[in-house]
Amino acid sequence: MNQKSRLIKQADKLYSIHRIKQVGKCERCNKKYTLSLCHIITRGNKKLRYENRNTLVLCYICHTNFHSYPLIFTEFIKCLKGEETYKWLIRESNILKPLSKDFYKEIIEQYK
Ligand SMILES: [Zn+2]
């Protein structure tokens, strides 16, 4: 694994732990266990990977349902995040740019 991959892995882990602690429950059903971080726009979009507006804390069941019923979840996301944030996410998801090692170092510093 190269240095950039290690930085991404570390940044992912710290950000995920931070968000789960910060939210503390499933944002759909309020359950407080089997929580994980869910990305609305895939983690493949590096710019939105550590963006709170692009993430949800979900329990295992809601996270599984999220991927099984994307249309239902689209409506849920619009209600939870607001129509404007939803539109912003769609706009941002179409702007792709490669990110430097320094970007990941900043994320690690911010959430450790
Ligand atoms: Zn849930």
Cα–Cα distance measured from residue 59 to residue 29, given in angstroms and rounded to the nearest whole number: 8
What's the domain count of the chain?
Answer: 1
pTM for this model (two decimals): 0.83
Amino acid symbol at 84: E
Long-range Cβ pairs for the range 103-106 (8 Å, 24+): 103/46, 104/4, 104/7, 104/8, 104/10, 104/11, 105/7
User: Is 89 part of any domain?
Assistant: yes
29-69 pLDDT per residue, tens:
999 999 999 999 988 888 899 999 999 999 999 999 998 99
Query: Is residue 34 domain-resident?
Result: yes
Q: Is residue 21 assigned to a domain? A: no
15 CA distance to ligand 1 middle (Å):
20
- The residue segments making up the domain with residue 90 are 29-95
> Mean pLDDT in the chain?
92
Instruction: Tell me how far the alpha carbon of residue 38 lies from the centroid of ligand 1, in angstroms.
Output: 11
